[in-house]
Amino acid sequence: MPRFAVSLALLAALSLAAGSAFAAEPPAGYTSLFNGQDLTGWHGVKGDFNPEKYGTTPPEEMAKLREAWAKDVAENWKADGGDIYNNGKGVYLTTDKEFTDYELLIDYKTVAKADSGIYLKHTPQVQIWDWTKEADKWKNRADFGSGSLWNNSAGKPGKDALVLADKPFGEWNSFRIRQIGARTSVWLNGKLVVKHAIMENYWDKTRKTPLRHKGPVQLQTHGGEIRWKNVFVKEFTPEEANQLLAEDGEPGFVPIFNSQDFTGWQGAVDNYEVVDGALQCKPGKGGVLYTKEEYGDFKVQVEFKLPPAGNNGLAIRFPGGEGDAAYIGMTELQVLDTEDPKYAKLDPRQAHGSVYGMIPAHRGYLRPVGQWNFQEVTVKGPKITVELNGNVILDGDVSTVTEFMANKPHPGKDLAKGYFGFAGHKDPVAFRRVLIKKLD
């Protein structure tokens, strides 16, 4: 082989080896979002671009925006020595991939007077501060340190970091960010700074719409140079997500279903069965299966799995005996395969998680049919909160309801106490891991 050919081959090999050396190996179970050599897998988006506009912006206008953002990325972002480098200007670097339930590992190093952050599901943000007094950011609560969900409403969990965990400038900081639905935990340099807090939807100023079901990770630029490296992600299966929601949530729940039989339950016992450790309504059967103990204010956790078009419900403060839990009890919270074509003409107050016939729940947060969902319900006085797979899909007060579906009144809605149960509607909807926590 000619000498120059050998030299070219050697240079190519050395270049490839150097490039490979930049890309750190992800920990077991994680994949890398940055290859250490270029920005493949990333694109630019202007920081104030509301993600809801993706569905409303005309295609030709969207194409022009993407072209402008790509040019901006080329001017202000680059892969540099195994790091992602930004000069403090430009659009936000955004993953091509979107995530629902995941854990993100990422290191950053920034400069004095910096103000940056990490957007989750295209929503601000896990905050990065210059926390020192000299930066003059204490008026914005920078003295609490980085890692908080700074765009949460004042007083809400996650708004301030639990501890100051920042390293001095010039040193690398390491984030571990876990997000399941909107439930978000953040560790900075090994210290827990946000614990299982709901990340609010910044794009809805009323804060009544849950965080987007899925979305990209974005790296914010905000006036100060910043570097990022070791960007790894692990996506959770539904089973893993459910387990973490249970483990990371508050303590004090006790099981009320033993996974074997209906000890502690009454009502339509003969119309239900235990299958593979889960209770479910027998096909073609119905009625309310309810506890032998009554509850006033309480929280309940339950996992459920829907068959196609499956229909059931959670009976809340049911008075016992025969009757429709949605009317003679405080309510029936719908458990329904809302998106099945069978329910195309559904009243919004009948969607999954709704206070039946009274208060509609937000849609779009159910897992696909056949997968287990995790739901937590809080009942306190006349107020009901429903959290589905880490997302608050309903937060309502039945005492304020004056309009009812089909103008049919709900005489039991003001009950202060009653039984908890399942309101079967002939479908084999499965329930497992049923736990309750008294609040009164």
In this predicted model, what pLDDT tens digit does every residue of 383-402 receive, in sequence order? 999 999 999 999 999 999 99
User: Is the pLDDT at 140 greater than 90, yes or no?
Assistant: no
Q: Rounded CA gap, 204 and 375, in Å?
A: 23
Choose the weakest-confidence range: 3-17, 159-173, 350-364. 3-17
In DSSP terms, 45 is beta-bridged to 92
Task: Work out the average pLDDT over 46-67.
Answer: 96
| Dist CA 27 CA 116 (whole Å) | 26
Q: State the chain's mean pLDDT as an integer.
A: 93
Q: According to the model, what pLDDT value does residue 9 have? A: 42
Taking the C-alpha atoms of residue 273 and residue 135, their distance in angstroms, rounded to an integer, is 64
DSSP, res 164: -
Domains of the chain in start order, with CATH, are 22-236 (2.60.120.560), 244-438 (2.60.120.560)
pLDDT in tens, 196-238: 999 999 999 888 899 999 999 999 998 889 999 999 999 999 9
pLDDT per residue as tens digits for the range 342-397? 999 999 999 999 999 999 999 999 999 999 999 999 999 999 999 999 999 999 99
Residue type, 421: G
Tokens of 184: 């978000």
Contact 150, 127 (CB under 8 A): yes
* Run of H or E residues at 185: strand 183-188
What's the pLDDT band for 440 if we cut at 50, 70, 90? confident
378-101-308 Cα angle (round to 5): 70
What's the whole-model pTM score? 0.93
| CA gap 387, 242 in Å, rounded | 12
State both tokens at 353: 């998680």
Higher pLDDT, 22 or 59: 59
CB atoms within 10 A of CB 99: 19
Residue 282: CB atoms within 10 Å: 16
**How many whole angstroms separate alpha carbon 299 and alpha carbon 413?**
17
Torsions phi, psi of 193, nearest 5?
A: -110, -20
**pLDDT tens digit sequence for 261-317:** 999 999 999 999 999 999 999 999 999 999 999 999 999 999 999 999 999 999 999
